[in-house]
Chain A
Amino acid sequence: RQQYVGKLKFASLEASQGSKKLVVATEKNVVAALNSRSGDILWRHVDKGTPEGVIDAMLIHGQDAITVSNAGRILRSWETNIGGLNWETSLDAGSFQAAGLVGLQDVVKYVAVLKKAALSLLYLSNGHQKWAEHLPENEGMQYQMLYSHGTGVIHVIGIVPQSHLNILTFNVEDGEITKQSRVAAPWLKTLNGACSVVGEAVLVCVDTDSHSLYVCSLETEQEMKQIPLQSLDLEFADGFQPRILATQPHVVGASRTQFFLQLSPSHFSLLQYKHGLLSHLRDFQQAALVSFATTGEKTVAAVLTCRSELKPGSAEGVHVGSALEESRKQESLTCSNQTYNINLYLVETGQRLLDTTITFTLEQSGTKPQQLYIQVFLKKDDSVGYRALVQTEDHMLMFLQQPGKVVWSREESLAEVVCLEMVDLPLTGAQAELEGEFGKKADGLLGMFLKRLSSQLILLQAWTAHLWKMFYDARKPRSQIKNEINIDNLARDEFNLQKMMVMVTASGKLFGIESGSGTILWKQYLRDVRPGSSFKLMVQRTTAHFPHPPQCTLLIKDKETKTSFLYVFNPIFGKRSQVAPPVLKRPVLQTLLLPIMDQDYAKVLLLIDDEYKVTAFPATKNVIRQLREIAHSIFFYIVDAELGKLSGFRLKKDLSTEESWEVMIPPEVQRIVSVKGKRSNEHVHSQGRVMGDRSVLYKSLNPNLLAVVTESTDTHHERTFIGIYLIDGVTGRIIHSSVQKKAKGPVHIVHSENWVVYQYWNTKARRNEFTVLELYEGTEQYNATAFSSLDRPILPQVLQQSYIFPSAISAMEATITERGITSRHLLIGLPSGAILSLPKALLDPRRPEVPTEQSREENLIPYSPDVQIHAERFINYNQTVSRMRGIYTAPSGLESTCLVVAYGLDIYQTRVYPSKQFDVLKDDYDYVLISSVLFGLVFATMITKRLAQVKLLNRAWR
Chain B
Amino acid sequence: LFIMYMAGNTISIFPAMMVCMMAWRPLQALMSLSATLKALESSSRRALQGLVFLVGNGLGLALALYKCQAMGLLPTRPSDWLAFVAPPQRMEFTGGGLIL
Instruction: Given A589-B100, A687-B85, A695-B77, answer yes or no on A788-B91 (Cβ-Cβ < 8 Å).
Output: yes
Q: Is A730 an interface residue (CB 8 A)?
A: yes
Q: Is A703 an interface residue (CB 8 A)?
A: yes
Q: Is A677 an interface residue (CB 8 A)?
A: yes
Q: Is A694 an interface residue (CB 8 A)?
A: yes
Instruction: Given A696-B79, A785-B88, A787-B89, answer yes or no on A636-B94 (Cβ-Cβ < 8 Å).
Output: yes
Chain B residue nearest to A534 in the complex (CB): B100
The answer on a CB contact under 8 Å between A588 and B79 is no
The answer on a CB contact under 8 Å between B96 and A639 is yes
Pick the interface stretch among A245-253, A590-598, A617-625, A864-872: A590-598
Q: Is A745 an interface residue (CB 8 A)?
A: no
Q: Which of B72, B79, B85, B91 contacts A695 (CB 8 A)?
A: B79
On chain A, the residues within 8 Å of B79 by CB distance are 688, 690-691, 694-696
The answer on a CB contact under 8 Å between B94 and A536 is no
Q: Is B98 an interface residue (CB 8 A)?
A: yes
**Which of B83, B88, B90, B93 has its CB near the most chain A CB atoms (within 10 A)?**
B93
Would you give the shortest CB distance from A355 to chain B, in whole angstroms? Answer: 52
Q: Which of A638, A672, A686, A691 contacts B96 (CB 8 A)?
A: A638
On chain A, the residues within 8 Å of B85 by CB distance are 687-688, 784
B:64-94 near A, CB below 8 Å: 72, 77-80, 82-83, 85-94
The answer on a CB contact under 8 Å between A633 and B89 is no
A:527-542 near B, CB below 8 Å: 534, 536
Q: Is A640 an interface residue (CB 8 A)?
A: yes
Name A's interface SS: strand
On chain B, the residues within 8 Å of A783 by CB distance are 88
Q: Is A841 an interface residue (CB 8 A)?
A: no
Would you give the shortest CB distance from B77 to chain A, in whole angstroms? Answer: 5
On chain B, the residues within 8 Å of A640 by CB distance are 98-99
Instruction: Given A696-B82, A701-B87, answer yes or no on A638-B77 (Cβ-Cβ < 8 Å).
Output: no
**Which of B82, B89, B97 has its CB near the most chain A CB atoms (within 10 A)?**
B97
On chain A, the residues within 8 Å of B77 by CB distance are 694-696
The answer on a CB contact under 8 Å between B99 and A688 is no
> How far, in angstroms, from A630 to B92 measured CA to CA in the complex?
9
Chain A residue nearest to B85 in the complex (CB): A687
The answer on a CB contact under 8 Å between B98 and A557 is no
> How far, in angstroms, from A729 to B90 measured CA to CA in the complex?
13
> How far, in angstroms, from A941 to B99 measured CA to CA in the complex?
73
Q: Is A208 an interface residue (CB 8 A)?
A: no
> How far, in angstroms, from A470 to B86 measured CA to CA in the complex?
45
Instruction: Given A687-B82, A694-B79, answer yes or no on A675-B98 (Cβ-Cβ < 8 Å).
Output: yes
Q: Which of A608, A686, A701 contacts B82 (CB 8 A)?
A: A686
Q: Is A683 an interface residue (CB 8 A)?
A: yes
Q: Is A685 an interface residue (CB 8 A)?
A: yes
The answer on a CB contact under 8 Å between B87 and A684 is yes
> How far, in angstroms, from A690 to B99 measured CA to CA in the complex?
40
A:727-783 near B, CB below 8 Å: 729-730, 783
Q: Is A797 an interface residue (CB 8 A)?
A: no
On chain B, the residues within 8 Å of A635 by CB distance are 92-95
Instruction: Given A694-B79, A695-B78, answer yes or no on A730-B100 (Cβ-Cβ < 8 Å).
Output: no
> How far, in angstroms, from A788 to B89 measured CA to CA in the complex?
9
Mark A595-624 against chain B: 1 for CB-CB distance below 8 A, else 0.
100000000001010000000000000000
On chain A, the residues within 8 Å of B91 by CB distance are 633, 786-790
The answer on a CB contact under 8 Å between B92 and A641 is no
The answer on a CB contact under 8 Å between B90 and A703 is yes
Chain A residue nearest to B78 in the complex (CB): A696
> How far, in angstroms, from A672 to B99 measured CA to CA in the complex?
12
> How far, in angstroms, from A672 to B92 measured CA to CA in the complex?
25
The answer on a CB contact under 8 Å between B94 and A704 is yes
The answer on a CB contact under 8 Å between A639 and B97 is yes
Would you give the shortest CB distance from A563 to chain B, in whole angstroms? Answer: 12
A-B pairs, top 5 by smallest CB distance, nearest first, are A592-B95, A729-B94, A788-B91, A690-B79, A637-B96
Additional 16 contacts, C-beta under 8 A, given A633-B92, A641-B98, A729-B96 = A555-B100, A594-B93, A634-B93, A634-B94, A637-B96, A639-B99, A640-B98, A672-B98, A675-B97, A684-B87, A694-B72, A694-B79, A696-B77, A696-B79, A785-B89, A786-B88
